[in-house]
Amino acid sequence: MYDASVSRPIVLPDPPLSDGRVTLRAWRPADVPRIVAMCREPDVIRFTSVPVPYDADDARLWLDLHPARLAAGDGAAFAITEGGDELPVGSIGVRVLHDQGVAETGYHVVEARRGRGLATAALRLIGGWTFAELPVARLQLTTHLDNPASQRVAEKAGFTREGVLRSWTDQRGERVDLVMWSLLPGDLGA
């Protein structure tokens, strides 16, 4: 049973989370050029809140945040890799909302590797790890209404579509509606 009052450091899995094909590893300084390339892709700009424009300093600042976020138990970020290849093909992360006993996740996969099940596999790994390791009773994610690929990923990973949150957030100065999805521990393996 989760205890939302507990905020302990997050320890990244060792060995890294893997289903044998997709592996979620810690980010490294050497990944900066790849992070920049991913965060400049049009659909990543359109459907996530990455800074625009995005350059190497943004990537380094983002990497620098990770140790403190882990130590505070606030969240974790993973590079998605495929097979034995060390080059990241995507990104997935978890943020803990301590006061709610809830975690939020978000992800993206490089254009060249989409449509091969990578995001779904990564999200399934994150779902299992979240309920095994984090003090939360719910994992949620939000998708844009006009992002069918991400909605399909959520559905395939076992999330339930809960409804549309009208004017839910500000994305670079514009209010956007988002679809809320959730996964509960009992949904795993269903």
Residues binding ligand COA (CB under 6 A):
43-44, 47-48, 106-109, 114-120, 143, 147-150, 152-153
The distance of closest approach from Cβ of residue 188 to ligand COA in the complex, given in angstroms and rounded to an integer, is 17
The distance of closest approach from Cβ of residue 136 to ligand COA in the complex, given in angstroms and rounded to an integer, is 19
Nearer to ligand COA, 6 or 165 (CB): 165
Nearer to ligand COA, 53 or 148 (CB): 148
Nearer to ligand COA, 38 or 134 (CB): 38
Nearer to ligand COA, 8 or 21 (CB): 21
Written as one string, the DSSP assignment of the chain is ---TT--------SSPEE-SSEEEE---GGGHHHHHHHHTSHHHHHHS---SS--HHHHHHHHHHHHHHHHTTSEEEEEEEETT--S--EEEEEEEEGGGTEEEEEEEE-GGGTTSSHHHHHHHHHHHHHHHHSS-SEEEEEEETT-HHHHHHHHHTT-EEEEEEEEEEEETTEEEEEEEEEE-GGGTT-
The distance of closest approach from Cβ of residue 84 to ligand COA in the complex, given in angstroms and rounded to an integer, is 19
Non-local CB neighbours of 132 within 8 Å, separated by 6+ positions: none
Distance of CA 88 to the CA centre of its chain: 14
Nearer to ligand COA, 73 or 144 (CB): 144
CA distance 155 to 167: 23
Residue with tokens 């625009």: 52
The distance of closest approach from Cβ of residue 181 to ligand COA in the complex, given in angstroms and rounded to an integer, is 9
Nearer to ligand COA, 106 or 135 (CB): 106
The distance of closest approach from Cβ of residue 70 to ligand COA in the complex, given in angstroms and rounded to an integer, is 23
The distance of closest approach from Cβ of residue 134 to ligand COA in the complex, given in angstroms and rounded to an integer, is 20
